[in-house]
Amino acid sequence: MTLSFGTDGIRGVARTELTTEIAEQLGRAAARVLGRRLFLVGRDTRESGPELQAALMEGLAHAGAGVADLGVVPTPAVAFCSARRDAPAAMVSASHNPYTDNGIKLFAAGGRKLSDAVEARVEAEFEKPAEPRGGSAVRSPPEPLSPEPLPPEYGAHLLASLGGRTFGGLRVVLDCANGAASAVAPDVFAAAGADVVAIHDRPDGTNINDRSGSTHPESLQGAVLARRADLGLAFDGDADRVLAVAADGALVDGDHLIALLAVDRKSRGALPGDTVVVTVMSNLGFRLAMAGRGIAVHETSVGDRYVLEALEANGWALGGEQSGHIIFRDVATTGDGLLTGLAVCDAVARTGRPLSELARVMTRLPQVLRNVPVAADGRARLDSADGLWAEVRQVEAALGDTGRVLLRPSGTEPVVRVMVEAADAERARAAAEQLCAAVVRELGR
């Protein structure tokens, strides 16, 4: 993969693309823009994490920041501590990527991802030539916030979201992806009253996300069936997203989880404005299901940061992405896989209905995704490609209310992404092929 700078900071192949020098450089830039009083830093379980974290902390300290080491923690725990202490923070993680990759995610004071304007300022500082150190000494980071590997108040915060309810022995299989959830999730769910079976909870630095977690839920599906569990939860490497598995082994994706949680919250008067926020990638079946339940759907660009911005701007509480990034704005400042998993278990235990039944609130429509290579300037010409958009309107008219088309440029590659949803798979495939040909015709030269 290519090193990139985005809303979460930077990500690339550890030690070749994302080096300790780059981590230190980002630390200096982040301190200059986000603040020097105190900076919190955590990491996941990748073998490259300690060296990148040390370099990042060195850069922060050299720029004059106080630094506190949170150790190996989930990304949402870093955001929680950032909000609790009103301090900027960083997480050394590449999320769901393999162990060979790593990244550095940044949070502004208050535990929120950076706005476009602040992100641009950090990137501008990052790209400046490194200043000579002269004879100044690098400040040593202070002692960690606590001797525990996880700030204990984070676990209490998660359990408090249940309002005193417990799960009454609900058997839950937790796939910790050999990542940051490994030392946290089993204890939290056991404290909530679950009969916990943990798998992929023995990180060794190289097995994070390896045939496990939210990107590879197959072993969790098998474990749920083998252990006759009520449900299973698959986290990613830094535990900010989760997918679920029902007792029958069926996978329950982010759209289904948001749908059942929205319906559950509305039934309890806990869905402000009777509105839920999702990105343009959420399935049309989700929108149809919400309309049938009297729940409005607000749509944003792709990215959980944009979901949070819409939630905060309008006073809404629930939103997320198909990938399993789900935000409870009245409880947290970012997507939290553990918090989402607890909410799902709570809905199952409280209603007495199995996850498979709750998830049937929506029916997923067939979706076809294609990445279409275009000319070097093709992405820039997309908005003005009148012939292409005329064909899009033709396809949309043919699909009617049970179909949807989305064309958007890749942010990093000379590619246009084509998505088509329809009432049946063949119609979706044929429409996607028609539009892909139109993209090539209009933008491929």
Q: Angle, to 10 degrees, between the axis of helix 75-85 and the axis of helix 152-160?
A: 100
For residues 81 and 60, give the distance between their C-alpha atoms in angstroms, rounded to a whole number.
18
The tokens for 339 are: 């918090």
Nearest by Cα to 270 from 341, 325, 346, 185 = 346
For the chain, the residue count is: 445
Longest dimension (CA), the chain: 70
Q: Is 95 one of the catalytic residues? A: yes
Say which of 48, 82, 93, 95 is annotated catalytic: 95
Cβ–Cβ under 8 Å, residues 223 and 199: yes
The tokens for 346 are: 């709570």
Nearest by Cα to 40 from 108, 87, 105 = 87
CA 236 to chain centre: 9
Nearest by Cα to 126 from 40, 10, 37, 16 = 10
Sign of CA pseudo-dihedral 149, 152, 153, 159 = positive
For residues 429 and 421, give the distance between their C-alpha atoms in angstroms, rounded to a whole number.
9
Cβ–Cβ under 8 Å, residues 399 and 326: no
User: Which residues participate in catalysis according to the annotation?
Assistant: 95
